[in-house]
Amino acid sequence: METIAVYWEPKIRIYGLTRQVGLSLYSVLFPAGRLAYWGGRIRDLAANGRDFELVNLQTVSAETLQFCLLLAGVDNETLVRRLLEDGLAHEDATSLQTIAPVALIYLHGPHFQDRYGIAEAALSPMQKADIPVLAAGCSGTSVYIVVPEDRLDVAATCLAETFVI
């Protein structure tokens, strides 16, 4: 059975635009063959009672993966860095980058996973406004964007021009 439905809106509707500040963004580059090891290191971070705000992983070359972890708080940065840096000590092809403080702005919308143009609507205004997107994720009905904390207001203004609650 096939059902055809047409939905049109002058501006993309969302359920809300949420901001979060005081976050740290950790990016680890490591050999693809070490994925199991880094899964274990991330599990170890949980032992310190931490949750994540956003995670993404990408293949950046044939042999290299990049794990990106957005965690709340900048005060425990030393502890997290120490846990991750344990993994760096024995691997030449591994590096860790930390950016803090950063801010997260996220939104959710109806059937975003099935609609075209959502990622473009969220990311293009950022580039036009020269706002560096440090990390982003669009999956399911969610769009998450990480920006430098001092660019959060401009980013929110950009998104408010594109989306409507």
Partner 1 sequence: MKIGIGGIRFSPELVQYAHHAVSPADRSLTDLLRRLAEHRINLSFACTSVVGETVHSTFCLAAGDFAAVEMLLDAVPSQDEHASCRSPAGAGDPGGPSLRARFEITHRVGTLTIFPHRRSLLLLGHVVETLAQAGIAIHSMCTSISALAINIDYLQLDRAVEALDKIVELPENHAPYRPELCIRQIALPSFRPNSDMQWKQ
Residues contributing to the site for partner 1 (CB under 8 A): 4-10, 27, 29, 32, 35-36, 38-46, 50-60, 65-66, 68, 97, 106, 108, 113-121, 123-124, 127, 130, 132-142, 144
Place of tokens 């203004």: 157
- Which residue, 39 or 153, is less far from partner 1 as judged by CB? 39
Peptide bond into 101 cis (omega under 30): yes
Question: Considering the complex, what minimum distance in angstroms separates the CB of residue 125 from partner 1?
Answer: 10
- Which amino acid, 30? F
Q: Which is nearer to partner 1, 74 or 108 (CB)?
A: 108
Q: How far is the CB of 153 from partner 1 (least distance, A)?
A: 20
φ and ψ at residue 118, rounded to 5 degrees: -70, -50
- Smallest CA-to-CA distance from 141 within 122, 161, 159 is with 122
Displacement of CA 165 from its chain's centroid (Å): 22
- Strand, helix or coil for residue 146: strand
How many other C-beta atoms are found inside a 10 Å radius of the C-beta of residue 70? 23
Q: Cβ of residue 156: shortest distance to partner 1, in angstroms?
A: 18
Instruction: Using the minimum distance from each CB to partner 1, give the nearer residue, 29 or 88.
Output: 29
State the minimum distance, in angstroms, from the CB of residue 138 to partner 1.
Answer: 4
